[in-house]
Amino acid sequence: MGRKKNWYLLRKLIYCKTPIRHTLTLAVVLSSLLVLIVFSGCFREEKLYNSWRLQTVLKNNEPLKDSLQFHLIPNYTYYIFYYSNTLEVKTYALGQYVSSPEGHYYFVNHSKLRMRFTIMYNSYDITAKIKKLTNTELVLEYTENGDTYIMKLFGY
């Protein structure tokens, strides 16, 4: 019984004829949408806070065979995103694991991820489009020197 009454009152408020109620209704709807948009961005960012293992790298839609870029070695490279917008990249090189001393990342328009880090004296500044982001899978795509790279990472 209470739901029908609430629904009736809500319909009456929405379809009312007075300008004050129209303004009030519009303000409530717009503020609700704004809250939804803001929190949806936060949830997306929270999914990134994880340790990710680089599983696959595609260069121009072909599996990358050999790479002199230390951040692109599949199965031996880890990206760790912290809440403080710091990024740590670990990779296996020269018989041992090495890591970036201090890296940073941030979102660009909630659809791209910019990462800056240095590893083995090589500095990287990558702005990648986020193709997929779930709790367990991250897919990034970026272009460098005319080549398109797709990085598939899995959370652990």
Model pLDDT for residues 82-120, shown as the tens digit of each residue: 999 999 999 888 788 899 988 999 999 888 999 999 988
Band the pLDDT of 156: cuts 50, 70, 90.
confident
Model pLDDT for residues 37-84, shown as the tens digit of each residue: 544 445 567 888 989 999 999 999 998 877 667 778 888 899 999 999
Give the model's pLDDT for residue 46. Answer: 82
Band the pLDDT of 122: cuts 50, 70, 90.
confident
pTM of the predicted model, to two decimals? 0.70
SS (H, E, C) the chain: CHHHHHHHHHHHHHCCCCHHHHHHHHHHHHHHHHHHHHHHHHHHHHHHCCEEEEEEEEECCEECCCCCCHHHCCCCEEEEECCCCEEEEEEEECCEEEECCCEEEEEECCCEEEEEEEECCEEEEEEEEEEEECCCEEEEEEEECCEEEEEEEEEC
